[in-house]
Amino acid sequence: MKKIKVSFDAWIQLLGMLGVLGGLVFVGLEMRQTQQIAIASQVDARNQSQLARRNIWLEGQWELGHKITTTPYEQLSEAEKFARNQMLQWQRDIQTNNYFQYRMGLLTEEQWEVVAFRIEGQWRDCSTRHTYQMEALEAPFREYLLSLDDPCK
């Protein structure tokens, strides 16, 4: 058996290359994380813009806001039902955004448990189920909703 002698310089070069490779992997992971955060921030900014635009007509009408959130849906006038449906649609937008951020890994499990509890509570309200415009929801969120227990069937 023949022994091969490796010089000290070769070991230094090998360690240097391993360091460079490790650094490249680290930079790649950081870039991926930065991209995920940027996408989530963009989605959140779009959601906030939509909410602000939709909420403007309710400003200064706290009585209406209180009534449509505390009165059973069936007891509301048609105009009040319309206002409540709009409010519920805003909530759907927030739910979709929260689900997206959860899928991106930007919500902790504890945060998601609270959000999921609220989503499931609204999903079980058969009187307002029609405000979930399933065809307008992102496919992953729609699939999540359809995986929940459905007392409205």
Domain ranges within the chain, ordered by starting residue:
36-147
Q: List pLDDT tens digits, range 11-63.
A: 888 888 888 888 888 888 888 888 878 777 877 777 677 667 666 666 777 78
**Predicted structure pTM score:** 0.63
Q: What does the radius of gyration of the chain's CA atoms come to, in whole angstroms?
A: 26
140 close to 103: Cβ distance less than 8 angstroms: yes
In whole angstroms, give the CA distance from residue 134 to residue 80: 23
Q: List pLDDT tens digits, range 51-101.
A: 676 666 667 777 887 888 889 989 999 999 988 888 888 888 889 888 988
In whole angstroms, give the CA distance from residue 128 to residue 122: 8
